[in-house]
Amino acid sequence: MIRSLIKNISRNYAFAQFFQKPDFGKYSIVMPGQVSPMRSVPEHIEKPDYYKTGEPKPATRDIEIKNSKQIQLLKDSCKLAANILEESGKILKVGMTTDELDNIIHQMIVKRGAYPSPLNYHHFPKSVCTSINNVACHGIPDDRKLQDGDIINVDITVFLNGYHGDCSKTYLVGNVDQKGRELVKATENCLKAGINVCKPGVDFCKIGEVIEKRAHEQGFGVVPAFCGHGIGSYFHGPPEIIHMENAYPYQMEPGMTFTIEPVLGQGSRDVELLEDGWTCITTDGSRTAQFEHTVLITDNGVEILTLPDEK
């Protein structure tokens, strides 16, 4: 009698463990909605090679060392991307759709004489990536309205004077629960930690090592599916920046430029690619956050190129 009771209790416990979702906090699970037609870019704006075809030319094979002229051009596009990202943060409002946000950002970018890099890059249909709550990366702006308590990553890349500048932030919409706020803060800390180890002679794999360690210290994990990348006249090229422990074999040298863009998650690290070919969602519905900067290796350290102008 007692034995069977104990058995039942433990069976019920195992049952509960299996079916009860861990508590990831209070937020809405996002599924993709309706996407509006592609927006057009005025005639006079310089377009990247993939503008018509959707297929970019391959980037450099080796990690490019940029000269001072290339660096200046890249700096200008990075500054613009950072300023637009900053302004995007100020216009986010409960009730606004991500399609409306895409439209505003698109207009801001073309008004400043630049091309919104995501537009038709490998056929991406919009001008910015917006990834909310359980959408881990590459969310496509659509007719979903922002809700109180959402966390939204806005990822801005602009093409100006032949160079791409790339950065992103996760913004809080209205009142975000504590679990969400902690995730966002932790992710920003990880990006900082990753940038802080960069200087000439350091192994690229050091970045992932410190980011993963910092993520674990704060109670989160790194989502392995997303990497940083070399950037310049190409949107994505070598080196590959892995945000967790890895054995990437190259070292940093002055003149190299790349992004660092860790995605941290609350739950399982598994993501699933949806049929639209872009939207990545977590398989367990847990939330993720991401922050991104484009950086330059200088003679004695690192410079963040995607800082907005001080106001």
Which lies closer to Co ion via its Cβ, residue 24 or residue 281? 281
Q: How far is 272 from 177, CA to CA, in rounded Å? A: 25
Q: Specify the residue, 133 or 157, whose C-beta has the smaller distance to ligand MF3.
A: 157
CA triple 212-213-217, angle to 5 deg: 115
Q: Which stretch binds Co ion (CB under 5 A): 25-33, 154-162, 179-187, 237-245?
A: 154-162
Among Co ion, ligand MF3, none, the one that 121 touches (CB under a kind-dependent 5 to 8 A) is ligand MF3
Strands 293-297 and 288-290: unpaired
Of the candidates 120, 109, 100, the residue with the CA atom closest to the CA atom of residue 45: 109
Give the whole-angstrom CA distance, residue 204 versus residue 183.
25
Residue 203 sits at φ, ψ, to 5 deg, of -65, 135
Choose the binding region for Co ion from 21-29, 49-57, 160-168, 296-304 (rule: CB under 5 A). Answer: 160-168
* From 99, 142, 150, 166, residue interacting with Co ion (rule: CB under 5 A): 166
Terminal Cα distance for the chain, rounded: 74
Residue nearest to ligand MF3 (CB): 118
In the chain, how long is the greatest CA-to-CA distance?
A: 84
> What are the distances in angstroms from CA 190 to CA 94, 220, 236, 269, 287?
28, 10, 22, 16, 16
Interface with ligand MF3 (CB under 6 A): 118, 121-122, 124, 129, 138, 155, 157, 166, 259, 261, 278, 292
Candidates 279, 306, 67, 4; CA nearest to 153 is 279
Cβ closer to Co ion: 88 or 168? 168
Q: Which does 118 bind (CB under 5 to 8 A by kind): ligand MF3, Co ion, none?
A: ligand MF3
Is residue 153 close enough to count as binding Co ion by CB under 5 A?
A: no
Cis bond leading into 42, ω under 30°? Answer: no
- When the beta carbons of 209 and 261 are compared against ligand MF3, the nearer one is 261
Residue 93: contacted member of ligand MF3, Co ion, none (CB under 5 to 8 Å, by partner type): none
Q: Which of 77, 259, 288, 290 is close enough to bind Co ion by CB under 5 A? A: 259
One residue of 155, 165, 244, 278 binding Co ion per CB under 5 A = 155
Counting every residue written for the chain, the total comes to 311
208 interacts with, out of Co ion, ligand MF3, none, CB within 5 to 8 A per kind: none
Beta bridge partners of 175: none
- Angle 98-111/68-91 helices, nearest 10 degrees? 140
Tokens of 250: 């190259």
- Nearer to ligand MF3 by Cβ, of 138 and 269: the residue is 138
Residue 50 binds what, of ligand MF3, Co ion, none (CB under 5 to 8 Å, by partner type)? none
Nearest CB to Co ion, comparing residues 129 and 176: 129
138 binds, among Co ion, ligand MF3, none (CB under 5 to 8 A by kind): ligand MF3
- Smallest gap from Cβ 41 to Co ion, in A, equals 19
